A and B are shown apart, each in its own frame.
Chain A
């Protein structure tokens, strides 16, 4: 068995069953995918089929009993998460960084290294600011990326076309020649388990 996450109502789907705990249901699959990437693919498949759920991290393996205990202890937090993520998914915007890992290769004096490090951090801040401007009006958060700056954006399912069209329209106007990779709409993993601020785009 594989504990997938939580839903507020029972949703019959092939290979999936739910266990009621208070006002919530723990979502469980009969079969455990053979890798974490296969788990992510399954989460994505459920999300694409229209299921709204709070996902457990694909890297997590937990027993059903642990999940039930956790649900009993954190019922309110999980309900809030489900509500905040309802009918939403995430886009992932990745802007290739001009410097390797954001750290200048130059060795030399400590002062010059620090100066380069500050410059690199400044460039990363600018890059993140640029990404958030492309996703203005939506809740976003910076996440880690290799040799890049990454921003995950929480987007209502019905806004996908709007967001893509906006990026297509606005990206050419930015005065930087860098590679931007836009991927989505993903199951909102980066926002599950996070405190979601109020007042973001509904």
Chain B
């Protein structure tokens, strides 16, 4: 027994209708920096849901320390 390995270039994945590659591309679309503004959730290249968001870019350590500082008053 062994792993059956498939290699797919980004160009292949972006144009493929194979379910595995469509899911891979959808997964990538969920990432990247998100700042205040609008966000569309997408599945298989169909824009489905709109959200208004207000998030920030920061390390988890920074958020944890800020939270601790805030709770200490």
Contacts and interface: CB of A to CB of B under 8 A. Distances in A.
Contacts of B6: 179-182
Contact of B27 (A44, A77, A145, A173): A145
Interface stretch (A14-22, A35-43, A105-113, A115-123): A35-43
Contacts of A60: 32-35, 37-39
Contacts of B8: 181-183
Nearest to A197: B59
Contacts of B28: 40, 58, 92, 186, 189-190
Contact of A57 (B29, B59, B60, B61): B29
Given A59-B39, A192-B32, 10 more contacts: A5-B33, A40-B28, A92-B28, A94-B23, A175-B2, A179-B4, A180-B5, A180-B6, A190-B28, A195-B59
Contacts of A36: 29, 40, 42, 45, 47
Given A36-B45, A77-B58, A54 B33 contact: yes
B4 A189 contact: no
B29 A40 contact: yes
Nearest to B11: A44
A186 to B, nearest CB: 5
- Label chain A's interface by main secondary structure: mixed
Contact size range, A: 35 or more
A28 interface: no
B1 A177 contact: yes
B45 A57 contact: no
Contacts, number: 172
A175 to B, nearest CB: 6
Query: Max chain B CB contacts within 10 Å: which of A48, A58, A176?
Result: A58
A27 to B, nearest CB: 12
B57 interface: yes
A92 B37 contact: no
Contact of B47 (A35, A67, A96, A172): A35
B37 A192 contact: no
B9 interface: yes
Given A74-B56, A181-B8, A193-B34, A172 B3 contact: yes
Nearest to A71: B35
B21 A181 contact: yes
Interface string A60-86: 111100110010001001100100000
